[in-house]
Amino acid sequence: MPLPVHEPHSQPTSDPPECLDCGACCFADLPHYVPVRGDDYARLGDAAETLTRWQGTRCFMAMSDGHCAALVIDAGSGRFSCSVYADRPDTCRELERGSSECEGERERKYARTRRRLPLL
């Protein structure tokens, strides 16, 4: 029996899109996706109360409609921005544009970002 062929949602290119044109890493089906540690929480300041959720003793960025609650989606321009970019958690800071992790996020989630734009 032949193995199924994997059809990617998007073809990562050798030249990754600008983060503002992509947004894939901000999407997830998980309710607890981006961990927020002590320094992250402090850096978020007043925004931490509305943008984080606690699961027992662990804190995570809140999710809204399948994406991080800090993500701002501009349907008109098709761009994505982070409302707390300067204060974002270390997990987000460590994901480098064009890295293998970035490529994996785009491979798995880029189609979600495109489907989300017309819904706004």
Taking the C-alpha atoms of 34, 36, 40 and 45 in order, what is their torsion angle to the nearest 10 degrees?
A: 100
pTM of this structure? 0.79
Question: Cα separation of 61 and 34, whole Å?
Answer: 5
Burial of 17 (0-12, 13-18, 19+ CB in 10 A): middle
Model confidence at 14, in pLDDT bands (50, 70, 90)? low
Of 13-17, 18-22, 76-80, 87-91, which gets the smallest average pLDDT?
13-17
pLDDT digits (tens, 9 = 90+) for 18-60: 888 889 999 998 889 999 999 999 999 999 999 999 999 999 9
pLDDT given for residue 5 in this prediction: 35
